[in-house]
Amino acid sequence: MAWAGGERLPALVQESFPTATRLSGDQLARRLGEGLDFEQLRAYQPGEPAARIDWRISARANEPMVRVHREPAQRQSHLVVDCGAAMRFGTHRRLKLTQALLAAHAFAASSLRQNLAVEIHGIGEQLCPGHHAAGPVTGQGAILQRLAELADAAGESSHDATLVDWPGLRQRLAQRLPAGSVVLVLSDCLSDTGPGRAIDWAPLAASHHLIFVSVADRVELDMPDMGLIAFESSGGARWLDTGSRRWREHFARRQRDRLEDWRESAEALGAAFLPLSADAEAADWLAEVPVALARAMGAAT
């Protein structure tokens, strides 16, 4: 259902959308070079191949003129799935990681429909070796296999789990991604082990199209009445009186304010932000994706 719903989503990126066929190379690269799409005429520069000179126009201009074309390219879509410890949590229908993988199916289907080459980055997974060297692919089978590998490890746990290296991931993406790629991050923006702050993604946002999907469980937004309980954190145990209605209302308000701050910061970078409940059905949250994309484009303009 998620894959079928993703095929009906609007374009994740508007520029250089394929206009004729769905074959590789129907999109225009940002670099100039050899190709079929004429870009401009300019004066010949010493050292360029003589084959690029347009002799008929050069004769009229009384100087060597070169026809410059834009190279064909296939834009890429990179789906970053947070498989860390914070995502292996769920209290109702499914784990947050399971919901993130369902969303990844939908966005992968949408990317393929737009003729984007897709690569899945599963980060923080200790039990699922991924084919990270495969690079972007356009085959549905290869994408589904990678997502299935992550799904197989979704319910397992590891006692030696390490923190997700978000700074390292951002640096690797910035170094290897061609300009204009789609980068979709599926994580928990409320978690201390999540993707950090929106401003941390500013270098990537300057050259790529970012979409953040923040997955949260119901109790992380509206704490239920469980009486006096202890929460374990890096600083040790902390006792909280969840029986206090005033405290629960304050907690819920703070969590929603944090999500709203994340959305505003992301949209200020020109990125889309979609909060996603772990127990939401695909038909419901897929209807919110066009709204998030439209808001991001409106904020960017």
pLDDT digits (tens, 9 = 90+) for 143-197: 999 899 888 876 666 554 557 789 999 999 999 898 889 999 999 998 888 999 9
CB atoms within 10 A of CB 228: 10
264 found inside a domain: yes
248 lies in the same domain as 270:
yes
22 found inside a domain: no
59 lies in the same domain as 119:
no
Could you tell me the residue range of the domain that residue 39 belongs to?
Answer: 27-73
58 lies in the same domain as 115:
no
80 lies in the same domain as 173:
yes
Could you tell me the maximum CA-CA distance found in the chain, to the nearest angstrom? Answer: 88
54 lies in the same domain as 158:
no
Examine the pLDDT at 81 and tell me if it is beyond 90: yes
Domain edge (last residue) among 73, 93, 128: 73
64 lies in the same domain as 133:
no
Tell the burial category of 46 from Cβ atoms under 10 Å away from its Cβ (0-12, 13-18, 19+). exposed
Examine the pLDDT at 277 and tell me if it is beyond 70: yes
131 lies in the same domain as 275:
yes
21 found inside a domain: no
What per-residue confidence (pLDDT) applies to 161?
Answer: 52
pLDDT tens column, 22-31: 444 545 444 4
49 lies in the same domain as 148:
no
16 found inside a domain: no
Q: Across the chain, what does the average pLDDT equal?
A: 82
15 found inside a domain: no
Among candidates 83, 9, 3, 71, which has minimal Cα distance to 37? 71
169 found inside a domain: yes
pLDDT tens column, 8-44: 888 887 654 433 334 445 454 444 445 556 778 889 9
What per-residue confidence (pLDDT) applies to 79?
Answer: 96
Number of domains in the chain: 2
- Which residue carries 């209302």 as its tokens? 249
Q: Give the distance from CA 77 to its chain's centroid.
A: 8
- CA angle, residues 7, 15, 294, in degrees to nearest 5: 65
Report the 3 state secondary structure along 73-135.
Answer: ECCEEEEEEECCHHHCCCCCCCCHHHHHHHHHHHHHHHHHHCCCEEEEEEECCCCCCCCCCCC
How far is it, in rounded angstroms, from Cα 113 to Cα 245?
Answer: 48
CATH number of the domain within which 254 lies: 3.40.50.410
19 found inside a domain: no
201 lies in the same domain as 271:
yes
Coil vs helix vs strand at 70 = strand
118 lies in the same domain as 228:
yes
pLDDT tens column, 279-299: 999 888 888 888 888 887 666
How far is it, in rounded angstroms, from Cα 180 to Cα 218?
Answer: 35
20 found inside a domain: no
175 lies in the same domain as 278:
yes
184 lies in the same domain as 275:
yes
Report whether 177 contacts 76 (CB < 8 A): yes
2 or 74, which is more confident? 2
